[in-house]
Structure 1
Amino acid sequence: MSKALKISLIAFVAFLATVGFGTRYAASFINPTQLTRLLSASVKEATGRDLKITSPVSLHLFPSISVSAEQISLSNAPWARNPNMLTIGKIDLDIRVLPLF
């Protein structure tokens, strides 16, 4: 193996490690409780209905962006019979970043 190929391979592995540690570090600053409040406020502003997430929300940024939560409910209109328009036991959202490139 040539010296240039070895240096390129080491630089590529170092770059991947830096990106991995950087995303882990960035994810440590995101508070799941604050994320839940932000989601609820955004839904309230957009629809006028209350979004309740009773379990903790988990967020992962590497190797793909994923969000998972349990016990989610969206309130119904005041004139409706049922108090909740939507009830979800568990939801997992996963966005794979590499295919986007």
Structure 2
Amino acid sequence: MKIQGFSFLEVLVSLILVTSVSLALLQQQLQVSQFLQRALQRAFASTLLDNNSERVLARQPLAKPQNPYELTKTEISQGLILSLAWGFEPANSGCCQLQRSLITR
């Protein structure tokens, strides 16, 4: 009389395979979520910087951005530079910073 079924080793290998695939998918989902969050922040920052650029050209006061965004205005000889930084990356990394040069004179 032969009993049919799976051996303990086969079940263990299947379980390890399913677990490793599940963990890989969870890691990929986390990376995609972080990428989308950064893309949304960058799109909002671009809109915010464009709106403030239009305000400068219309000679209106700049709108103060909410956290985590920080807007700085630097005057140069031809006009000014608007810089918008956000996030927790180092300021010189270029990751979370946009600039617009405006000629106002």
Q: Normalised by the shorter chain, which TM-score bucket?
A: 0.3 to 0.5
Q: Which has the higher strand share?
A: 1
Larger Rg: 2
Normalising by the residue count of structure 1, what TM-score does the alignment of the two structures yield?
Answer: 0.40
Q: Which has the higher helix share?
A: 2
Normalising by the residue count of structure 2, what TM-score does the alignment of the two structures yield?
Answer: 0.39
